[in-house]
Chain A
Amino acid sequence: MLAPVAALRRQRRQPATRATRHRDRVRASEQIAGWSFVTPGVVIIMLFGIVPIVWSAVMSFQQNNLLTGNTPFVGVSNYRQMVHDPIVAQAISNTLVYTALFVPGTMLVGLFLAVAMNRQIRFISVYRTAAYATMAISTISEALVFIWLFDPSYGIVNYLFSLVGIGQQPFLNSTSEALYVIIIMTIWGWTGFAVVIYLAALQGIPKTLLEAAAIDGAGRWATFRRVTLPLLSPASLFLLVWLTINALQLFDEVYLSTAGGPLNSTSVLVYYLYEQAFTNFNFGYASAIAYFLFVVIIIVTAVQFWGGRRFVHYRS
């Protein structure tokens, strides 16, 4: 089917025989078929994917404010404004703190539960379903429940705190606590996902390897540390990258629970970008922030893959 290029060239130089005419017709019909099959999908992806990528790059160098109408080029002034914007600095720091706690938190919870659930005991499907259920809940439903759980005046969490002698906490109303409440709610929301990924990886580990370790006299902890954990490393790297990409794009929970407050203590990059774009209609400035986020995501992902290579063990 896939003839080498040289052979194709040779064919073309030959006088047209019945066979080559047939082959040309096949190739022409393949051109037509190829283009007609890809066109509907590609038009949509072009229009809503590729064109916007270029367009927002251009916009990030314009002063594009929907309210004024005209869009003069202003060089790098949007990017310069970003460097001097104290809220951007705050948003970057909030995003980093959030990511640094949310990602390992979710991975540890997921790993712990998946290990606990990786056995055939009674009610195991009930336990697993409880974890999976967090995958079905939307970020908005999740945030709404957690606002209520963490309500400063009437929330059940403050009641549980009072039972163990901790005083009432302001939670989402506090500049020092709000981000941590958002971390807790998103870890809960992603638990099901992490459990599914780790459980699938655990079930892919051949029993013979674990038995071999036991025969060699390795205890349970040693087997876990030296056999299971290295074999889970591809799943861990996937979760690390995937959760980080999502963490850097945190928006929904912030929008619903704090709207970036109090005093910008939960303003993350995407939330600030959204505000600039669709509250203030500063499309140019918002595009610059979006491109900054894009570059951060690419760098972080590349570093994780590059660094991950040393720690990831692939079974052949």
Chain B
Amino acid sequence: MSAPAIPIPAAAARKRRRRLPFSPWHLVLIPATLVLIFPFAWLLITSVETSSEALRFPPLLTPHHLEFSNYPQALQGAPFGRFFINSAVVAVTVVIGNLVLCSLAGYAFARYRFLGRGLLFALIMATLMVPFQVTMIPQFIITKWLGVHLLAGVGINHIGALILPNAATAFGVFFLRQFFRTLPIEYEEAARVDGASRLKVLWRIVLPLSGPALSTLAALTFLDSWNNFLWPLIAITSTNNMTLPLGLATFQGAHSTEWPLLMAGNVMSLAPMMVIFFVAQRYFVRSVAATGIAGA
């Protein structure tokens, strides 16, 4: 292909004349990146200092030796392993609950005609707008009642209380319903004609076509559940049932100025999510970007 005969624009000519050996954007991005990762770096450095090293001004930029004993000491102060297990159990169960229950409900709203469908869907949509603060007090009372009268495992101060209220969300139902409606209905009709049950159509035809939507819902639900603080703060009181953010906040309350200890605890709290995030970075980033595209 030959170049079209147009005069070289001034901007392009300028660009050609002064060319650095590297992109000038590095000069912007390197300082910006340093600012972004500095809190992480400082957190790591403080976590291996002795308390006398931390309580110095001017601060010690590099510790004299690495004081790893802060970590076992923090573990003695609070069961971070236990917090991690609680967080993981809650997040994984909530994700599975959402995938199953929101798929079922979203599919029925997308494809079936049944009495009250419109009203029910409108009610669910209405809850999407309501901030959690409006529902949290009755949710607390209901959870307490359920624990006393129905099943202790979902009552106040049990991790079931962190799972059940979030096991199906209005957002999940709405999101999957919108996605299912974009799928071609012919496959589903053909499978029905061939004698597949409705559940089988959903399980074998619809869900395999919905990989991107399901993974987006899973990633967003997981992040939400993992970082949730206000509801666990209300619902959980005993240390053994705390999730990582709540456990860390409680640990901070007990050791308010022991900075190396606090930072060691903080490293242990955020490390699992960091690892998960880096391993599945593409997947999380795609999911978050999808909310923007859907919203915009």
Q: Quick one: which of B55, B127, B136 contacts A154, CB cutoff 8 A?
A: B55
For the complex, what is the distance from the CA of A136 to the CA of B281, rounded to whole Å? 10
- The complex places the Cα of A173 from the Cα of B263 at a distance, in Å, of 21
Question: For residue A53, which residues in chain B have a CB less than 8 angstroms away from its CB?
Answer: 126-127, 130, 134-135
A108 at the interface (CB under 8 A from B): no
**A193–B227 CA distance with the chains assembled, in angstroms:** 14
Q: Assess the B42–A156 pair: CB atoms within 8 A.
A: yes
Is B248's CB under 8 angstroms from A137's CB?
no
CB pair B292 A238 closer than 8 Å: yes
For residue B71, give the distance in angstroms from its CB to the closest CB of chain A: 16
Q: A181 at interface (Cβ–Cβ under 8 A)?
A: no
Interface segment among B72-80, B207-215, B265-273: the answer is B265-273
Determine the interface band of chain B, counting residues with CB < 8 A from chain A: 35 or more
Which residues of the partner chain A approach B54 to less than 8 Å between Cβ atoms? 154
A311 at the interface (CB under 8 A from B): no
Residues of B within 8 Å of A35, CB to CB, are 108, 114-115
Chain A 250-294 against B: per-residue CB contact (8 Å), 1 yes, 0 no? 011001100000000000001001100110000100110011011
Per-position contact with B for A136-158: 1 when CB-CB < 8 Å, else 0?
11111110111011010111101
- Known A149-B42, A156-B42: A52·B229 in contact at CB below 8 Å: no
- A196 near B289: Cβ-Cβ < 8 Å: yes
A291 close to B112 (CB less than 8 A):
no
- A201 CB, min distance to chain B CBs, angstroms: 7
The answer to whether B285 and A197 have CB atoms under 8 Å apart is: no
Does any Cβ of B come within 8 Å of A30's Cβ? yes
**A36-56, CB under 8 A of B: which get 1 and which 0?**
011011101111111111011
A135 CB within 8 Å of chain B: yes
**Most chain B CB inside 10 Å of its own CB: which residue of A1, A47, A140:** A140
B190-234, CB under 8 A of A: which get 1 and which 0? 000000001000000000000000000000000100110110011
Q: A100 at the A/B interface (Cβ < 8 Å)?
A: no
Chain A residues lying within 8 Å of B113, measured Cβ to Cβ, are 27, 30, 34
Most B CB within 10 A of own CB, among A40, A137, A256? A137
B120 at the interface (CB under 8 A from A): yes
Given contacts A144-B266, A156-B42, contact A135 B296 (CB under 8 A): no
Q: Does any Cβ of A come within 8 Å of B179's Cβ?
A: no
Contact pick for A38, options B109, B126, B127, B142, CB 8 Å: B109
Distance A191 CA – B39 CA, assembled complex (angstroms): 13
Grouping DSSP codes into helix (H, G, I), strand (E, B) and loop, the A interface class, with mixed when no group exceeds half, is: helix
Q: In the complex, what residues of B have CB within 8 A of residue A31's CB?
A: 114-115
Chain A nearest CB, measured from B62 CB (Å)? 13
Q: Are B36 and A148 in contact (CB-based, < 8 A)? A: no
Name the one of B115, B134, B142, B248 contacting A140, with C-beta atoms under 8 angstroms: B248
Task: Give the CA-CA distance A201 to B32 in the complex, in Å.
Answer: 21
B244 within 8 A of A: yes
Say yes or no: A140-B112 contact (C-beta < 8 A), given A200-B289, A242-B295. no
List residues of chain A with CB within 8 A of the CB of B40.
133, 145
Q: How far is the CA of A239 from the CA of B42 in the complex (A)?
A: 29
Residues of A within 8 A of B36 (CB): 130-131, 133-134, 188, 191
Instruction: Judge whether A136 and B273 touch: CB under 8 Å.
Output: yes
Return chain B residues, CB-CB under 8 Å to A169.
none
> Within the assembled complex, what's the spacing in Å between the Cα atoms of A113 and B105?
40
Q: Which 6 A-B pairs have the closest CB atoms?
A: A34-B114, A52-B138, A234-B296, A37-B108, A200-B289, A52-B135
- Which B positions have Cβ atoms within 8 angstroms of A? 6, 9-12, 22-23, 25-26, 28-29, 32-33, 36-37, 39-40, 42-43, 46, 54-59, 101-102, 104-105, 107-109, 112-115, 117, 120, 123-124, 126-127, 129-139, 141-142, 164-170, 172-173, 185, 189, 198, 223, 226-227, 229-230, 233-234, 244-246, 248-249, 252, 259, 262-263, 266, 269-270, 273-274, 276-278, 281, 284-285, 288-289, 291-293, 295-296
Interface residues of A (CB under 8 A from B): 1, 27, 30-31, 33-35, 37-38, 40-42, 44-53, 55-56, 59, 113, 116-117, 119, 121-123, 126-127, 129-142, 144-146, 148-149, 151, 153-156, 158-159, 162, 188, 191, 193, 196-197, 199-201, 204, 214-215, 217-220, 234-235, 237-239, 241-242, 245, 248-249, 251-252, 255-256, 270, 273-274, 277-278, 283, 286-287, 290-291, 293-294, 297-298, 301
